[in-house]
Amino acid sequence: MTTPLPQQRTKDRVILLRRGLRLEYATLGWNVVGLGVLAAAAIQAGSPALAGFGLDSLIEIFASIVVVWQLKGSHKEREAPAMRLIGIAFAVLGAYLLIQVAVVFATGVRPATSVPGIAWTALTFVVMLALAWGKIRTGHRMGNPVLSAEGKVTLVDAYLAGAVLAGLALNALFGWWWADPLAGAVIIYYAAREAGHAFKHTA
């Protein structure tokens, strides 16, 4: 097997770096658009699941910005403070959703059906799976654990979209209103876990 020349290795690394940045920019663009869609759908339907998923998108935007900085080789000294901020953001997300879900169950408010929410979460599930696969594969080829790790976060984002989609669909099809806040409870667990991982990274 022929060993790649240093010039070829450098060229391959540049190509992989550009690919990684494109994947992060695509993630950023999708989540920015998603913020508006999810905010409107959450308000219209009174859905804890959609509200929580919208806040999660905001956190994902920040996480992607951190990875872009890291890939560009700048602001390395900001990695620990940034991870700390991500941890705080996830903790706030979990606390907000916990209160919102408790209020929904205590007051008996019934989330309405959200067709835009169903459509967006279904699309997000597919798009995030594709982006996660690309990030993990590119990160492994680059030998960049940060990109690979963020790809796994994107994969979890796809699973969250699937959980929210299931809650919205069950509410729409069978009138199981409790499935919506239950999907929000899944995000609470995820937020608490990710907050712990982020804080551990800064220890």
The Cα 20–Cα 41 span in angstroms is 31
- pLDDT value of residue 122: 95
- pLDDT value of residue 63: 78
Supply 73's token pair.
């080789």
The Cα 202–Cα 93 span in angstroms is 19
- pLDDT value of residue 50: 86
- pLDDT value of residue 22: 94
Query: Is the separation of the CB atoms in 116 and 37 below 8 Å?
Result: yes
Tell me the residue ranges of DSSP E strands in the chain.
none
Q: Residues 163, 38, 95, 107: is their CA dihedral positive or negative?
A: negative
The Cα 89–Cα 93 span in angstroms is 6
Q: pTM for the whole thing?
A: 0.77
Query: Is the separation of the CB atoms in 184 and 178 below 8 Å?
Result: no
- pLDDT value of residue 196: 85
Query: Is the separation of the CB atoms in 35 and 52 below 8 Å?
Result: no
- pLDDT value of residue 76: 59
Nearest CA to 178 out of 91, 110, 102 is that of 110
- pLDDT value of residue 75: 56
Each residue's pLDDT, cut to its tens digit, for the chain (203 residues) gives 455 556 666 777 888 889 999 999 999 999 999 999 999 998 888 888 888 888 878 878 887 888 888 788 755 566 677 677 777 877 887 887 788 778 777 776 678 888 999 999 999 999 999 999 999 999 898 887 778 877 887 887 888 888 889 888 988 898 888 887 787 788 788 878 878 877 886 66
Query: Is the separation of the CB atoms in 192 and 73 below 8 Å?
Result: no
